[in-house]
Amino acid sequence: MRVGFVGLGIMGGPMAGHLVSAGMDVTVWNRSPGKAEPLAKAGAAVAGSLEDLAAACDAICLCVSRTEDVRGCVEAMAPHSKPGTLFIDHSTIAPSGAVAIATDLRLQGRRFVDAPITGGSMGALKGQLTIFCGGAEADVVEAIEVIKPYTKTAARVGPSGAGQQMKMANQIAVGGALLALCECLNYADKAGLDITQAHELIGGGAGGSWAFANYGAKILNRDWSPGFTIENQRKDFGYCREAAARIGAAIPGTDLVDRLLAGLQEQGHGEWTTAALFEAYQAR
């Protein structure tokens, strides 16, 4: 199978690299062509355009940013792709957008699986991502086989759009864990405790979490390099609010984290890692 990969950022670049390392026939494209150079050296073909990539591939993975970005890429590629082409979207977008894109592609004789990812940049580098798949059962089975080189866990969670709904639930949990970590260490600091010791002791007990294990060191070192940026986290929270409003779900904790991150973004720190939420607490 010839596999295309669109979007070679912090997540997409390593993911495409795992496909190449697995010996797959991979063609890549990125809006900034320079990001494709390491993959070309590793053996990937580089398409001159989205249209060229679509014509060359049987399955096409996307890892871009927003709903409109996915829609734009798919609209450019679909007319040039072969009937039956499988589009696998790893971006985090609105669940309603995923349903609409899947419907449009189905009417054109193409297939779509919304397959958003979680596991962070380290998960992408290690090929250890968790992937939530929404779509027809047979399409998801095929998609999981394609994306196996960068997958720790992948599962079908329902029809089109369900993958993104699961990602919304995931982001709500991520926001709450981040809030707990930053609030905890800020309290420990202002109580005069050794926050390195607090991180070690609390993280090893009932208060521990993925956030403690992966973001704690960044907070202790005041290292705000991404990782996952405040700008991207707030983009995802916007989709969470939209989806929650559609189903009548309350997400007050997510709203609080978003407001605190908004303050940092308004100060010009949108490219900082989300662990910089700690700074919002320190300033209070």
Residue tagged 């697995």 (tokens): 22
Q: Judging by DSSP bridges, how do beta strands 86-89 and 117-118 pair with one another?
A: unpaired
Find tokens 């599962």 and name the residue.
155
Contact (Cβ atoms closer than 8 angstroms) between residue 18 and residue 150? yes
Give the separation between CA 129 and CA 154, rounded to whole angstroms: 8
From 35, 152, 167, 218, the catalytic residue = 167
Q: CA 222, CA 245: separation in Å to the nearest integer?
A: 35
Q: Respond yes or no: is residue 82 known to be catalytic.
A: no
Contact 164, 102 (CB under 8 A): no
Q: For strands 117-118 and 59-62, give the pairing.
A: unpaired
Preceding omega of 227 cis (within 30 degrees of 0): yes
Question: In terms of Cα–Cα distance, which of 80, 75, 81 is closest to 97?
Answer: 75
DSSP state, 8?
A: -
Amino acid (1-letter code) at residue 38: P
Token pair for 9: 């950022």
As annotated, the active-site residues are 167
